[in-house]
């Protein structure tokens, strides 16, 4: 029996034109985009389909844009009676997962991630924070590198993505020093990322405090499908626990590799990336090449996924 996880991408998966094919070919997707536009009071659809890229890459726009495309893709799958055993999302993607699990309404979620993006951007002035991807060092080695540069400012692991990739975040001087030291320590690759803020580190605490107030004002329903949270890499089914995890997630590292392994330990053998791009598909492949990895972002990938899953039997849990 197959156990299927739907996984939802986060920031950096966006591209101009994403979601247009779904919008044009599936009424439920068109309705999703219209719902998001109405809730936000501006056309996130236009930004997804037409850009410009520099506007789409603004954190406050990127987050609701990816959430909307992911939800549209999920609803197209749902209409075809394809349901996951568990859901998870990378950072921002956890909101998409919770919309899919019916803990949050889309209209509420797009507004909250619009604010989340703004709070995260405003927490650290542009040019003062940075993130870098390190490949080929163990978690222990990365932590050692971060500790060695602490005199230059905050520097810590932000995304534990796979055995091959750990992303660090913090003050720009510290992160730049860490990149140099990681290279000296034998990293296959260590490079600064083109991001506008140092996500998932202690510098995000001001954003976390602002977002907590907003999240506490929202109703979180108990989940129809369990979610594996970024912050603990644990199954969660209560709305209260899901909200608490989202609050802590802002300044805590994303435990993506651990989350994927937790799902595999529970019997998941098929992962479907729901939303733009194939970033998470690549990370899952780095974690374990034996599982089946599919994606849905347009009509072509939808058809391939449906064909691959034909006859799959869903199990609960």
Instruction: Report the catalytic residues.
Output: 91, 200
Residue pair 156/140 in contact (Cβ under 8 Å)? The answer is no
Tokens (6 digits) for 40: 């936000």
Where does residue 291 rank: exposed (0-12), middle (13-18), buried (19+ CB within 10 A)? Answer: middle
β pairing state of 270-274 and 235-236: unpaired
**b/e per residue 71-90 (b: at least 16 CB within 10 A):** bbbbbbbeeeebebbbbbbb
β pairing state of 4-8 and 292-296: unpaired
Q: Quickly count: other Cβ atoms within 10 Å of residue 70's Cβ.
A: 33
Residue pair 166/142 in contact (Cβ under 8 Å)? The answer is yes
Packing angle between helix 93-100 and helix 239-249, nearest 10 degrees? 170
Residue pair 55/44 in contact (Cβ under 8 Å)? The answer is no
Rounded to whole angstroms, what are the CA distances from 15 to 27, 136, 263, 268, 300? 22, 28, 28, 29, 17
């Amino acid at each position: 029996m197959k156990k299927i996880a739907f996984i939802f991408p986060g920031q950096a998966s966006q591209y101009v034109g994403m979601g247009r094919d779904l919008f044009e070919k599936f009424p439920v997707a068109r309705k999703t985009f219209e719902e998001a536009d109405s809730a936000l009071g501006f056309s996130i659809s236009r930004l997804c389909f037409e850009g410009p890229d520099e506007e789409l890459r603004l954190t406050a726009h990127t987050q609701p844009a990816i959430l909307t495309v992911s939800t549209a893709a999920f609803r197209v799958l749902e209409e075809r009676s394809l349901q996951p055993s568990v859901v998870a999302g990378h950072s921002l993607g956890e909101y998409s997962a919770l919309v899919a699990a019916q803990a949050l309404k889309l209209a509420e979620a797009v507004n909250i991630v619009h604010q989340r993006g703004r709070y995260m951007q405003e927490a650290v002035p542009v040019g003062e924070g940075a993130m870098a991807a390190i490949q080929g060092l163990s978690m222990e080695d990365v932590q050692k590198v971060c500790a060695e540069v602490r005199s230059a400012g905050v520097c810590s692991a932000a995304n534990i993505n796979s055995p091959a990739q750990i992303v660090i975040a913090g003050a720009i001087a510290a992160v730049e020093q860490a990149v140099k030291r990681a290279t000296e320590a034998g990293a296959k690759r260590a490079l600064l990322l083109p991001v506008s803020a140092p996500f998932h580190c202690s510098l995000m605490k001001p954003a976390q405090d602002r977002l907590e107030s907003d999240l506490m004002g929202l109703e979180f329903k108990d989940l129809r499908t369990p979610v594996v949270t970024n912050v603990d890499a644990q199954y969660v089914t209560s709305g209260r626990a899901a909200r608490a995890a989202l609050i802590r997630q802002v300044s805590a590292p994303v435990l993506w590799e651990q989350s994927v392994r937790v799902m595999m330990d529970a019997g998941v053998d098929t992962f479907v990336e729901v939303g733009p791009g194939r970033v998470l598909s690549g990370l899952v492949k780095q974690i374990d090449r034996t599982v089946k990895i599919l994606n849905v972002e347009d009509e072509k990938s939808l058809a391939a996924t449906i064909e691959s899953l034909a006859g799959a039997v869903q199990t609960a849990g």
